[in-house]
Structure 1
Amino acid sequence: MRALLSGYYGKGNGGDEALLATLLQMLPSHVTPVVLSGNPQQTIQQYGVEACDRMSVPSIINSLRSCDALIWGGGSLIQDATSAASPFYYGGLMALAQKIGLKTIAWAQGIGPLQRGQTRWMAKNLFASCTKVSVRDQVSAGLLTQWNIPYFLAPDPVWAMESKPTPGLWDLPAPRVAVTLRSHSDLTPSRLALLTRALVDFQKATQTFIILLPFQRSRDYAIAEAIQPALGDASQIICIENPQVLKGVFRGVEMAIGMRLHSLIMAASEGCRCFALSYDPKINRLMEDTEMPGWDLVNLPEDANSISTAWIEHYANGQALSSDKIKFLLDRAAIHQAILQDGLSIS
């Protein structure tokens, strides 16, 4: 069986690459993956799979015709908050696959926000026609319940992604703290300046080494570059493309401060204390599910001392997830693998 994998792959986003790596890890052995990628050659080289250009219509058509199934890879693919066009790209692929008669699986989805009536109508009809559907949060589950569409609910599959050692990590001074910020309208210049001052104070108080960890180089690196001069020799920017090696960073840090959803999931799954800076409801859902401390960026304290004090307190006295809680989440995340086994069974 051949399955076409569709997601935000090959775009240099560590979270989406982690979803792809986990999907490949969970695919049944009888399934040959073909990945729609923004950088097919890199995807081929990194994962050893077939890949084709996600924006080439002839390549997409040929791939669909050569495959038996289409899998919407994990994440918030069907949402119209950041792009009105994006859900129609993914929706068009799914509609075409269903019309051709392929098995279709919506895997580990985070549905919404859906602000436009047309997008909601499209999403409802496409999810209803899928062979199998799994979602990663209660809000998505509630939407499918409202639409009377069967689904399975499980934690984000990246909880279960295998990690690999990060070369050179243990050569850096210890103890270490990882910081992952991303560009966003809520991270205004004044808030970035506040966070930078708070990081400097936090670093001096804890004598930690700060690892600035861009998850998407094109969007995150400039922010890391803006922060790094204030921290000087007590910090380093590290860019890692392999998502399993990226997850391995969190084996060697004491705490993670992050905006990126999958930076927090990776850190928490490796037993690292986490502090969230939320710009999106999906971060708040993770905070609620794991009792993770943090702030919405729009409600960030207005003085750097309050921020650094909260970080210092969590560094000194905060708790990582218990091993039992991590095991529970890993076991539950395996539901996404069972969906693939069932939906892609040979019949």
Structure 2
Amino acid sequence: MESVRAVLCGYYGKGNGGDEALLASLLQMLPNHVTPIVLSGDSAQTQAAYGVEACDRKTPQVLIPALKQANVLIWGGGSLMQDVTSAASPVYYGGLMGLAQRFGLKTIAWAQGIGPLNRSFTRWLARQAFTNCDAVSVRDQGSAALLSEWQVPFLLAPDPVWALEAKPVEGLWDLPAPRVAVALRSHSSLTPERLAILTQALVDFQKSTQTCILLVPFQAAQDLAIAETIQPQLPGPSKILSLSDPQQLKGVFRGVEMAIAMRYHGLIMAAAEGCRCFALSYDPKVSQLMSELDIPGWDLLGNSQHAPIPSDPRTISQAWVEHYANGAPLSANQIHSLVDRALTHRDLLYQALQGL
């Protein structure tokens, strides 16, 4: 079969563990006859980490020739079409899709999480981008509802990271057991006052359970400072685990009893590896995941059906202790089903790339 050149675009090479896990999942799922070219924020790092061709995602002199030499653009996965911070993301991805289609490339929107889209312009841009794609897959009910409203055909399946192969983490099993992972991220909803409350709750939780706390920054630029603020205040054993390999990041959760996470992919990785999860939602995608998997937790923004986070650290720590003692992870059958369904994102790739 002739080799197909596919440009992969997403939030890659930006040091975000969740987006890197999506890239690793996509590379794992690509058919053998496809040669990937990854658009990256750090092309040298992407090339070294994955052994693939990569080029700068925003330099026209390399980006445009990469598109012209390719057969297909695979756009995703993750929350790329959202305007919560600014309209820049939808404009970039919408423009890239339009350019690829103008050059005659087949375009695939893969494992997308669409929104929030609060501006009428970005909503229109997203609708145009998805309408003109040759194939579309999404990872959540909210995205599926939007595409249904726009009358765009799509495949709905769990996030591909469910199916990502985990790798063992050197030294993890040498740390004291039992272990609990904590994955917090920088966000306007995590105010200094709220972080202080959560830190005190972790202190109380550790005293009650005698657990080793693993602080897991998913994106060093956003999460590491939080971990470094919390760690000196913990009374028991703890470790900050900064990992760049997304497969190892997933492997962390194979060695912990429970995960307390704001990070969307932190919850997915933990649930997939069979540990109990407790969520702190800062985004609709996390709230949706909580509802779909029946994960206990609180809403940091107070705008979903989930209860707002308490202001008393003792209430928080008691809820964590209760879930640690009596909560249950997903069953092996549930995990198998989610992994199996996540692999349909791979099937969509095989079907869309057939005949190229």
TM-score, with structure 1 as normaliser: 0.99
1:283 to 286, 311, 316: 286
Distance in 2 of aligned mates of 1:241 and 1:338: 28
Is the CA contact 2:167–2:250 (under 8 Å) kept in the aligned structure 1?
A: yes
SS of equivalent residue, structure 1 residue 73: strand
Question: 1:290 Cα deviation (Å)?
Answer: 0.5
Name 1:77's counterpart in structure 2: 80
SS of equivalent residue, structure 1 residue 179: strand
Name 2:205's counterpart in structure 1: 202
1:223 to 201, 222, 226: 226
2:263 to 260, 264, 271: 260
User: Is 2:58 the counterpart of 1:55?
Assistant: yes
Query: Cα deviation per residue 1:16-71 (whole Å; 9 max; x = unaligned)?
Result: 00000000000011100000011111101110000001111111101001110001
Distance in 1 of aligned mates of 2:337 and 2:288: 17
Name 1:335's counterpart in structure 2: 344
Partner AA of 1:189 in structure 2: P
User: Is 2:276 the counterpart of 1:273?
Assistant: yes
1:173 to 165, 173, 176: 176
SS of equivalent residue, structure 1 residue 295: strand
Name 2:244's counterpart in structure 1: 241
Partner AA of 1:334 in structure 2: L
Partner AA of 1:301 in structure 2: P
Distance in 2 of aligned mates of 1:227 and 1:105: 42
SS of equivalent residue, structure 1 residue 285: helix
Is the CA contact 2:180–2:258 (under 8 Å) kept in the aligned structure 1?
A: yes
Distance in 1 of aligned mates of 2:89 and 2:76: 14
Structural mapping, 1:31-110, within 5 Å: 31-110=34-113
User: Is 2:6 the counterpart of 1:12?
Assistant: no
Question: 1:81 Cα deviation (Å)?
Answer: 1.2
Query: Cα deviation per residue 1:52-96 (whole Å; 9 max; x = unaligned)?
Result: 011111111010011100011210101111221111111111000
Distance in 2 of aligned mates of 1:327 and 1:164: 18
Question: 1:114 Cα deviation (Å)?
Answer: 1.1
Partner AA of 2:114 in structure 1: I
Distance in 2 of aligned mates of 1:270 and 1:221: 23
Name 1:326's counterpart in structure 2: 335
Query: Cα deviation per residue 1:169-216 (whole Å; 9 max; x = unaligned)?
Result: 011110000000000000011110000000000001000000000000
Distance in 2 of aligned mates of 1:8 and 1:312: 36
Distance in 2 of aligned mates of 1:99 and 1:118: 21
Partner AA of 2:338 in structure 1: L
Distance in 1 of aligned mates of 2:338 and 2:107: 26
Structure 1 segments, 4+ long, off by >2 Å, are none
Say which is worse superposed, 179-188 or 82-91, in terms of deviation.
82-91
User: Is 2:141 the counterpart of 1:138?
Assistant: yes
Distance in 2 of aligned mates of 1:214 and 1:125: 35
SS of equivalent residue, structure 1 residue 79: coil
Partner AA of 2:215 in structure 1: L
Partner AA of 1:146 in structure 2: E
Distance in 1 of aligned mates of 2:117 and 2:299: 21
User: Is 2:125 the counterpart of 1:122?
Assistant: yes
Aligned residues: 347
SS of equivalent residue, structure 2 residue 95: helix
Q: What 5-or-longer segments of structure 1 have no aligned partner?
A: none
Partner AA of 2:186 in structure 1: S
Say which is worse superposed, 252-261 or 115-124, in terms of deviation.
115-124
SS of equivalent residue, structure 2 residue 330: coil
Question: 1:232 Cα deviation (Å)?
Answer: 4.9
SS of equivalent residue, structure 2 residue 239: strand
Question: 1:2 Cα deviation (Å)?
Answer: 0.5
Query: Cα deviation per residue 1:133-171 (whole Å; 9 max; x = unaligned)?
Result: 000011111111111110000011100000000011011
Question: 1:317 Cα deviation (Å)?
Answer: 0.2
Is the CA contact 2:110–2:138 (under 8 Å) kept in the aligned structure 1?
A: yes
Partner AA of 2:315 in structure 1: S
Query: Cα deviation per residue 1:291-336 (whole Å; 9 max; x = unaligned)?
Result: 0000001421010000000000000000000111111101110110
1:344 to 323, 328, 353: 353
Distance in 2 of aligned mates of 1:234 and 1:297: 27
Q: What 5-or-longer segments of structure 2 have no aligned partner?
A: 302-307
SS of equivalent residue, structure 2 residue 128: helix
Query: Cα deviation per residue 1:235-280 (whole Å; 9 max; x = unaligned)?
Result: 1111000000110000000000000000000000000100000000
